[in-house]
Amino acid sequence: MSAQVTALVNARVLTDHGPQDGLAVLVRGDRIEAIVRADDARVTAAQRHDLKGQLLLPGFIDVQVNGGGGVLFNAEPTVDALATMGAAHRKFGTTGFLPTLITDTADVMRKALDAVDAAIEQGVPGVLGIHLEGPFLATARKGIHDASLFRLPDAEDIAAITRNRRGVVMLTLAVEEVPLDTIRQLSEAGVLVVAGHTAASYDTTRAALDAGVCGFTHLYNAMTPLGSREPGVVGAALDDPYSWCGLIVDGHHVHPAALRVAIAAKARGKSVLVTDAMPPVGADSPEYILNGQTIIARDGICQSDTGVLAGSALDMATGVRNLVNMVGLPLAEASRMASAYPAAWLGLDRTHGRLVAGQRADFAVLGEGLVVSETWIAGVRYAA
């Protein structure tokens, strides 16, 4: 017996051509069956869900989530922690995410990799893979990372990272620290190798792009800046037409003008909204422990006692609002930076990131002020 069809009606549906009224989205099981006119006979026959004039967007995909719901992935690399993080972020429209492990020991890294595999196998909503941010980074651009744990990847690391995994594997590394042959080996094995926490020159970064680096972690932050005679990592990122750039749009990590410059410089589709979220997102407490330090989120800023940024308290819905209100993007493009573009980066664009027939039924429903009121993951509705 086939699954019941649900018709999402009375919404402004964000299609590939922008927001449109008078449409209904038909959902069967975990997929979009069709998008039809509201007066289509199939809508009458379906179970109707009235969205009362709200916006229906593709669900948000966040490729950099360190924590949420009071949980830090490094501290709890478990399936239960991933479920808690996913539940916290889906309140803000996130339907898919890469739990992100910042620099840690080899043992914790392996536990994190196995936890993500198990979470995907068990169907934990939203988990798409893992992002390993370190430990193959540069001390000169360490940020909040524990530089005492930095090292070069050995054969065991490479085997663990490149083993056949259930989800996407993204790896942030310093391109001047890791040999080009290793970057090439990782990339050819299917790992999404990205540059971050790096003090590399433009030429070194360009060579790494040629070897398989496909993107940049939180562009501008923890990397060599664009200069007139030495373009640095930022210059290489903006100059390259094929790579993706993650952007933290919280008003603290990057100035709005610098965001506009990056978005204008990159080819359309290559700028991606990320949160770099920490445990306070979706939690009652603004505090968490990182590398033995107590970090407190104040006014949306997570930083150590010495003023070093320690991730963010940003959620994806706030990031989308900031792209519209702070950066000045049209809502449709802001939405794509949170859905279609990250899906393409992760190689999931055939199944995620757009409102078209055949894609997974992942939705963010936004009401007044672009605030999320409900989220759907694989056809299952969650109230915000």
pLDDT per residue as tens digits for the range 253-286: 999 999 999 999 999 999 999 999 999 999 999 9
221 is in an annotated binding site: yes
- Residue 283 sits in the same domain as residue 365: no
- Residue 225 sits in the same domain as residue 245: yes
pLDDT tens sequence across 65-76 = 999 999 999 999
pLDDT tens sequence across 102-113 = 999 999 999 999
Q: How many CA atoms lie within 13 A of 259 on its CB side?
A: 26
pLDDT above 60 for 204: yes
Contact 221, 195 (CB under 8 A): no
6 pLDDT band, cuts 50/70/90, is very high
- Residue 120 sits in the same domain as residue 136: yes
Instruction: Provide the mean pLDDT of the chain.
Output: 96
Among 56, 59, 86, which Cα is nearest to 71's? 86
- Residue 84 sits in the same domain as residue 14: no
- Residue 47 sits in the same domain as residue 79: no
pLDDT tens sequence across 322-370 = 999 999 999 999 999 999 999 999 999 999 999 999 999 999 999 999 9
How many structural domains comprise the chain? 2
Which residues are known catalytic residues? Answer: 276
229 is in an annotated binding site: yes
Per DSSP, the three-state class of 76 is: coil
- Residue 107 sits in the same domain as residue 231: yes
Residue 306 CA, distance from chain mean position: 27
206 is in an annotated binding site: no
378 is in an annotated binding site: no
197 is in an annotated binding site: yes
pLDDT above 90 for 83: yes
- Residue 364 sits in the same domain as residue 284: no
Domain presence at residue 73: yes
Percent of the residues in the chain that have a pLDDT greater than 90, as a whole number: 92
Domain presence at residue 240: yes
pLDDT tens sequence across 105-136 = 999 999 999 999 999 999 999 999 999 999 99
- Residue 233 sits in the same domain as residue 131: yes
Q: Give helix 180-188 / helix 155-162 axis angle, nearest 10°.
A: 20
Q: How far apart are CA 307 and CA 104, in angstroms?
A: 22
299 pLDDT band, cuts 50/70/90, is confident
3 pLDDT band, cuts 50/70/90, is confident
The range of the structural domain enclosing residue 210 comes to: 60-345
Which positions ≥6 away from 56 have C-beta within 8 Å? 8, 11, 12, 13, 14, 25, 355, 363, 364, 365
**CATH number, domain at 25?**
2.30.40.10
pLDDT above 70 for 1: no
- Residue 170 sits in the same domain as residue 26: no
pLDDT at residue 353, rounded to an integer: 98
pLDDT at residue 307, rounded to an integer: 84
pLDDT at residue 2, rounded to an integer: 67
- Residue 29 sits in the same domain as residue 67: no
- Residue 30 sits in the same domain as residue 94: no
- Residue 96 sits in the same domain as residue 196: yes
**CATH number, domain at 158?**
3.20.20.140
Domain presence at residue 213: yes
Domain presence at residue 350: no
